[in-house]
Amino acid sequence: MSIEIKTPADIEKMRVVGALAAEQLEMTEAHIKPGISTGELNRICHEYTINEQQAIPASLNYRGFPKSICTSVNHVVCHGIPNDEKFLKQGDIINVDVTLIKDEFHGDTSKTFIVGKPSILAKRLVSICKETLYLGIQQVKPGNHLGDIGHATQTHAEKNRFSVVREYCGHGIGRVFHDEPQVVHYGKPGTGIELLPGMVFTIEPMINAGKATVKLLSDDWTVVTKDHKLTAQWEHTILVTDTGYEILTYRNDDTIPRCG
């Protein structure tokens, strides 16, 4: 397995595109409200990417994906396709996943938003999922292993009586959208690939309120929980530094240090 080590010039470009991806999610938050369609969210993000950020929406036509962002509502685990007939309702949760290309490099991030007033379960699920992401990020430093990240995310989710999706994972990223290594969100400490400075990958735990089993729908994109219970996901693009980590898609609402 060949894992690209980014050069200082590569890293600077990834900081730029990562900041743009973060900015897009911050912009999107004002539009997350009852009555808006996921199709309209897609149009807003697409136009913002092209017109305001002078960037490219990486998801559009990627392996045939028909839209510029992924919108995964309630029991949709990932890769939800925006739809003009899918309107957000009070109490929904929605993961918005955005990936941009700028100067050949990708920035990939996602956040699960709450629409209006959530149920107690939904609020807790979204919160715990965010915590699992942060705990995974805190394991990123030279000499640690991918298994340390997976163990941290799995342990926290299961301690809180949630389950971890195993079929979908984080990934290396740079000039290539989905690259090596695969970053799974379960595992044992000290196992897997050793982390080295200059590696860049996403951490993006998908946490279910029910069982971990998922199902791919007939559109060959949309993944749902098999028991139709709620699911949440949070994602950041992470650089391994000489001493720890740097979050390249850091947002103003993050409650973990940008670097550690």
Tens digits of residue pLDDT in 208-248: 999 999 999 999 999 999 999 999 999 999 999 999 999 99
User: Stretch 107-118: mean pLDDT, rounded?
Assistant: 97
pLDDT at 30: 96
pLDDT at 251: 97
pLDDT band at 199 (very low <50, low <70, confident <90, very high): very high
Judged against a pLDDT cut of 90, whether residue 149 lies above it is answered with yes
C-alpha 214/C-alpha 75 separation (Å) is 10
pTM tops 0.85, yes or no: yes
pLDDT at 141: 98
Element (H, E) at 79: none
> Interhelix angle for 38-47 vs 8-29, to 10°?
140
Contact 234, 112 (CB under 8 A): yes
Share of the chain above pLDDT 70, in %: 100
Domain 8-247: CATH superfamily, name plus number: Creatinase/methionine aminopeptidase superfamily (3.90.230.10)
Distance of alpha carbon 135 from its chain centroid, rounded? 15
Structure tokens at 7: 């050069």
Contact 100, 107 (CB under 8 A): yes
Judged against a pLDDT cut of 90, whether residue 1 lies above it is answered with no
Residue type for 224, please?
A: V
User: Stretch 27-45: mean pLDDT, rounded?
Assistant: 98
User: Stretch 176-196: mean pLDDT, rounded?
Assistant: 98
pLDDT band at 179 (very low <50, low <70, confident <90, very high): very high
Where in the chain does DSSP place strands (E)?
56-57, 70-73, 76-78, 93-102, 105-114, 163-164, 170-172, 179-183, 200-203, 206-208, 214-216, 223-225, 231-233, 236-240, 245-247
Residue type for 108, please?
A: D
C-alpha 90/C-alpha 26 separation (Å) is 20
Cis peptide bond prior to 34, omega within 30° of 0? no
pLDDT at 92: 98
Question: What's the Cα-to-Cα distance from 127 to each of 67, 133, 180, 232, rounded to whole Å?
Answer: 28, 10, 29, 9
- Give the helix ranges, DSSP H, for 6-106: 8-29, 38-47
Averaged confidence pLDDT in the chain: 98
C-alpha 243/C-alpha 152 separation (Å) is 19
pLDDT band at 80 (very low <50, low <70, confident <90, very high): very high
Contact 234, 110 (CB under 8 A): yes
Judged against a pLDDT cut of 80, whether residue 131 lies above it is answered with yes
C-alpha 119/C-alpha 91 separation (Å) is 7
pLDDT band at 185 (very low <50, low <70, confident <90, very high): very high
pLDDT band at 173 (very low <50, low <70, confident <90, very high): very high
The domain limits of the chain are 8-247
